[in-house]
Amino acid sequence: MNRRVPMSIALDCEFVKTKGRVIVSSIAFVPFASFKAPLRQTHSVGHARSGTGVAKAQAHAEQSARPCMITSGGSTILSLDPTEVMRHADVLPCGHCLMPLLQGETAVGSKQSLTAVEPHPSTTGKEKLPRNYEKMLRIVRSEAGLETLCPHSIPNIRRLDKTWLRALHVAAVNSAEFRDASAHLDHLRTYGNGGRQRWAISFLMKQHPQVLQDLLRKNFTTDDAWCQWLSACGDTVESELQRVAQEHRRISSAQSERKAHSKPGDHPLDSCGVQYKECKSLEELPRELSRTWSALISARAHVGGVKFYTYGNMDAKAIKNSLQLCGATANQAAKPPEGTGKGNYHPNEEEEVGCNLLKSPHEAKVVDLTRHPLFAASGFCISSRKAPPLTDALKKAAAVDVSARLLLESNSSHDPLWDAKALACVAVACGVVPFSNPPVQ
């Protein structure tokens, strides 16, 4: 890798929504570089025999060279134990895996249109409404299916009192029981109103409780059925979290074996190992994130530095929220107690770790690839203000990058390691990362 330019690291996070904040539950760091992969030369043998023909062919090959992404070092994955994720999440993560449960038939009988109702009298009128509010409301009223609910807003029944959730189904919306349940669940509105023509349950509960209750009653014959469905959602999410964690453990444990059996010609996308660290508590992950970030910055401090790339701005917000939870920082490095000489003071292990953390969450600076001028200039934006989903951007990058094509063949979106590699491929295809020397085979 060219040591005169910053090291490029692709980041991707998965989130857990807890205590009114969105924080990191899993993050992947993937160092990457870009090199030119020349196309096959198709000139004839007779043509190649002449010096002029060879020179022209070489010049044509150079002009036709395509960018190719390579991982330029070991990747690092930090992750919170799936059991801890489920213990702390207010709403369920991994909303993508809940779509089959939202789209399936869950109640006996045919679906009917919901009764058109006005906003509940208890609403203040100060609630910030989505831009396409009226359109979304018409969809909910006309389609009584659960597919109108936002998959990222499903309450985690393991963390909440079932009495509150049952009340949404059985209690009259004007009753004290319903109002009490709504008040206890009101903190869920912190995580958004929904989007893409799908409503957050907490938003409907506040703005249109009758619509929500009709929706629940038309899809669940009893409040027990409603709670059983929520439990099934929780089980599905935990299974997905365990599956991804197990895959990361497998990849990490196979690192030594892959290196021992690697052969010349192996594609660089799979040539680097993965270090996986699973944190056992919500407090441990931010500290490990801070330590890892600080180590990456320090390692390149005198040789060009580091640039961290994300896809969109959600990752940056969650990273800073997580780092703010980190109790010890370099500013809180251990100091000898008063009256104790330096030679007689020995910091404990926790204090030594604190010395290696970021001094401030603001040190964790990232570059949002979707806001980079070359991203739009390369034709990746589907509109002047909207970036496509990462998988769609990767498909476009696959037209010029063999690494992107190989990555698409093993599609594992919503896995932070796969997503970070996809981001790296898109960054290379955009020309954001300067070319490096090709890998030595």
What pLDDT, in 10s, does the model give residues 225-276? 999 999 999 999 999 999 999 999 999 887 655 555 555 555 444 445 899 9
Strand 75-80 relative to strand 274-279: parallel, antiparallel, unpaired? Answer: parallel
Confidence label for 50 from pLDDT (cuts 50, 70 and 90): very low
Tens digits of per-residue pLDDT, 199-218?
899 999 998 899 899 999 98
Q: How many helices (H) and strands (E) does the chain have?
A: 18, 9
pLDDT top residue among 103 and 175: 175
| Residue 159, phi then psi, degrees to nearest 5 | -100, -20
Q: Is the pLDDT reported for residue 342 higher than 70?
A: no
| 255 token code pair | 């690192």
H helices of 254-313, where?
A: 255-260, 284-299
Q: Is the pLDDT reported for residue 287 higher than 60?
A: yes
Confidence label for 74 from pLDDT (cuts 50, 70 and 90): confident
H helices of 50-197, where?
A: 51-63, 82-88, 99-103, 133-142, 162-170, 176-184
Which residues partner with 35 through β-bridges? 68
In this prediction, residues 308-322 reach a mean pLDDT of 95
Amino acid identity, residue 393?
A: A
Share of the chain above pLDDT 90, in %: 51
Residue among 441, 425, 440, 340 at smallest CA distance from 67: 425
CB 170 within 8 A of CB 163: no
| 16 token code pair | 């857990």
Long-range contacts formed by 236-239: CB under 8 A, 24+ apart: 236/97, 236/98, 236/101, 237/86, 237/92, 237/93, 237/94, 237/97, 237/98, 238/82, 238/83, 238/86
pLDDT top residue among 400 and 330: 400
User: What CA–CA distance (Å, rounded) separates 171 from 226?
Assistant: 14
pLDDT top residue among 258 and 435: 435
Residue among 33, 8, 3 at smallest CA distance from 438: 33
In this prediction, residues 72-87 reach a mean pLDDT of 93
Tens digits of per-residue pLDDT, 350-399?
444 455 888 888 899 999 999 999 999 988 887 767 889 999 999 999 99
User: What CA–CA distance (Å, rounded) separates 326 from 353?
Assistant: 12
At residue 90, the pLDDT reads: 97
At residue 242, the pLDDT reads: 97
393, with CB counted inside 10 A (0-12, 13-18, 19+), is buried
Instruction: Tell me if residue 232 falls in helix, strand or coil.
Output: helix
At residue 70, the pLDDT reads: 80
Confidence label for 339 from pLDDT (cuts 50, 70 and 90): low
Instruction: Tell me if residue 189 falls in helix, strand or coil.
Output: helix
Q: Is the pLDDT reported for residue 125 higher than 80?
A: no
At residue 117, the pLDDT reads: 40
Residue among 34, 194, 214 at smallest CA distance from 115: 214
Residue among 327, 302, 315, 331 at smallest CA distance from 364: 315
At residue 369, the pLDDT reads: 95
Residue that is written with structure tokens 């020397």 in the block: 437
User: What CA–CA distance (Å, rounded) separates 95 from 146?
Assistant: 13
Which residues partner with 67 through β-bridges? 36
Q: Is the pLDDT reported for residue 138 higher than 80?
A: no
What domains does the chain contain, in order, with CATH numbers? 7-38+67-79+284-334+349-430 (3.30.420), 88-237 (no CATH)
What is the overall mean pLDDT for the chain?
A: 79
Mean pLDDT lowest for which of 49-63, 295-309, 426-440?
49-63
Provide the phi-psi class of 78: left if phi over 0, else alpha when psi is between -120 and 50, else beta. beta
pLDDT top residue among 346 and 378: 378
